[in-house]
Amino acid sequence: MNCNEVTSAIFYDLSSSGWMEMFGLVELHVAETAAEVKPVLDKVEAASQLGHFAIGYVCYEAASGLDTSLNHRPKHSYPLAIFAEFEKTRPIDLSEDLKAVKLRETIDKNCFTRSIGKIKDYLEKGETYQVNFTHQLVGDCYEAPRNVFAKLIEAQPTRHGVFFETEHFAICSASPELFFSLKHDDVEMRPMKGTRKRGRYLSEDLQYKAELASSEKDRAENLMILDMVRNDLGRICDPGSIKTSKLFEIQKLPTVWQQTSSVTGKTKASLAEIFSATFPCASVTGAPKVRSMEIISDLETIARGVYTGTLGYVKPNREASFNVAIRTMFIDKAESKASYGVGGGIVWDSNAESEWEESLLKAQLVDFPAVSFELFETMRYDPQQGIYLLEEHISRLRGSAEYFSWPFEETVVRNLLKGVKSDNALRIKLVMMHSGKFVIKQSPLPDFRGLVRLKLANRPVNSNNIFLFHKTTHRKVYEEAKKEAELCDDVILFNEKGELTETTIANLYIEVNGKLLTPPLTCGLLPGALRASMLSKRAASERVLYKSDLLSAKDIYIGSSLRGLQKAIFSE
């Protein structure tokens, strides 16, 4: 492979806490066979001692070149390892136009379930305690690989991301998992084991986090892998230097919660020796490693390639960082094809259905909304009373900011809103940007008097769409539905189960037996400020509502803090 075949090499630099690009290509170090893997790592380390930088990957199937006791499927057509040696690095901006890549499974659910059954047979025989079983998703990719990488990083910011592109292929890694970092003689590994999906709104989100934190099953799996990592490091670290810390930490990612633990030690081992002792990471093989990898080789139908291998960089002064290559897309540029591996650890009490869903959950990163959006609150200002339901608005904004991990300075918000003064009623729009900055817009308060005419939307909304639960500028669902509002003022939305949710501009209420009822949040709707106030004062209560309830209701209302409670009429 010629030097001019590497076209881009980008990494997140832990020292400077920013994205860097390597330039001034010196040489490529390529391992086509298992026997060449260690020599390549030795050359990379020698280059760093000359003051050069290196970036590259090591495939899962390189394992036998590092430890002859490890078994795996034959490698795919690409080299087992490539490292590009460069003279320099420079900061880089990742901003690009972002698009999603649509992927499909390479095995069906029945095949997956049969494989889980076979793994349980091995578990029952005592041949293994855990097996990390994976499968690949594939799809067409006509987007520029660097744009794909930027999209993945936009969807999942990470300190362990790497982009490596040649003339023939590209690897886009948004891995959240550290394989190992090295700084002088200090080495750290931080295996990731234990997953829960993210909630759609803050309270549901924190519930899933608490479930993971209290799960004995997930802790046991995490501890099993942690012990393996300790043993691996014990082969190269100074006696008595290995320590565990940050046990069972819960890490928030855009689509999942993950559990991690950390192991540190002191070592003078070479780069090749560190790899030989630790690769592949225990979190992507199982326990014990040798037998688990044999089972993986028998059951998995496609070579993993770089997936569950590693990508990383080596710098001068004995500094390096390598990820575990999960959340990683491999793009074949000639064929315009992409592959993306997913999987998880299988133990005796694993449920095939749950494991299948969890594996697909990890792939949601690829389809995670690659949209730029802002949070906002629309409020009513009264010259005598000030901003109506101010606390409810601030509470909702704070909750959404926490959900999306945006910086939120409540004092700044309150001071900005205190500055609103007028002799007239106003419509106040407070916009919050990703950076945590705010903008206020004012306009006269519209006249909301009059009966609101409603009809049912033509298509359901997806109750798993997170943008239904947060007031954002990404309003495509509402805009599309509002186009259907012919001969009426607004449409009533409903979800995939036929449950009513809200209108495009307000929460929905019906009066039954003298009581106001409104759909529960779980149906997929915005938690309005007026709704929150009415529920807390027991002026309304939650109940799942259907179209038939509209037809039998005494009265129908829509409500928001801006317009108050307005009477409505429904027509089919």
CA–CA separation, 134 and 119 (whole Å): 12
At 18, is the pLDDT very low, low, confident or very high (cuts 50, 70, 90)?
confident
**Separation of alpha carbons 269 and 326, rounded Å:** 26
Question: What pTM does this model have?
Answer: 0.85
Q: Is 422 helix (H, G, I), strand (E, B) or coil?
A: coil
- Dist CA 492 CA 480 (whole Å): 13
Q: Tell me if 296 sits within 8 A of 282, measured CB to CB.
A: no
Q: Write down the mean pLDDT value for the chain.
A: 93
Q: Taking residues 537-553, what's their average pLDDT? A: 97
| Residue 71 pLDDT class (50, 70, 90 cuts) | confident
Least confident stretch, 424-433, 441-450, 481-490? 481-490
Q: Which amino acid is at 122?
A: Y
Q: Is 218 exposed, middle or buried (0-12, 13-18, 19+ CB in 10 A)?
A: buried
For residue 192, the one-letter residue type is: M
pLDDT of 86 reads 96
pLDDT at 4 over 70: no
pLDDT score at 319: 96
Residues sharing a CB contact under 8 Å with residue 527, sequence separation 6 or more, in sequence order:
201, 396, 469, 521
* Contact yes or no for 380/425 (Cβ under 8 A): yes
Per-residue pLDDT tens over the stretch 255-284: 889 999 999 999 999 999 999 999 999 999
Dump pLDDT digits (tens) for 462-482: 999 999 999 999 999 999 999
CB-based burial, 246-285: b 16+ in 10 Å, e otherwise = eebebbebbbbbbbbbbbbbbbebbbbbbbbbbbbbbbbb
Q: How far apart are CA 325 and CA 177, in angstroms?
A: 8
Q: 74 pLDDT band (50/70/90 cuts)?
A: confident
432-453: average pLDDT: 94
For residue 386 the two structure tokens come to 């000030």
> Is the per-residue pLDDT at 535 higher than 60?
yes
Using one digit for the tens of pLDDT, what is the confidence trace for 86-133?
Answer: 999 999 887 655 555 778 888 888 999 999 999 999 999 999 999 999
The yes-or-no verdict on residue 226 having pLDDT over 80 is yes
Reported as type and span, the H/E element at residue 38 is: helix 37-49
Q: What is the pLDDT of residue 134?
A: 94
- As to burial, measured by CB atoms within 10 angstroms (0-12 exposed, 13-18 middle, 19+ buried), residue 551 is exposed
569 pLDDT band, cuts 50/70/90, is very high
Q: Which pLDDT band, with edges at 50, 70 and 90, does 300 fall under?
A: very high
CA 390 to CA 381: how far, in whole Å? 10
| Average pLDDT of the residues in 372-401 | 96
Please report where in the chains the tokens 């999906």 appear, as a residue.
197
Q: For 326-348, how does the pLDDT look when each residue is reduced to its tens digit (9 = 90+)? A: 999 999 999 999 999 999 889 88
- Enumerate domains of the chain plus CATH numbers: 3-367 (3.60.120.10), 375-444 (3.30.470.10), 452-570 (3.20.10.10)
Task: Find out whether 138 and 337 touch, Cβ atoms under 8 Å.
Answer: yes
**pLDDT higher than threshold 60 for residue 153:** yes
Quick one: average pLDDT of 428-439? Answer: 96
Cα separation, 285 vs 225, whole angstroms: 9
The predicted pLDDT at position 367 comes to 65
Which amino acid makes up residue 381? Y
Are 130 and 223 spatial neighbours (Cβ–Cβ below 8 Å)? no
Asked, as a colleague might, if the bond just before 280 is cis with ω within 30 of 0, I would say yes
Q: Is the pLDDT of residue 176 over 60?
A: yes
CA-CA distance, 71 to 285, in Å (whole number)?
Answer: 11
Given pLDDT bands bounded at 50, 70 and 90, which one contains residue 191? very high
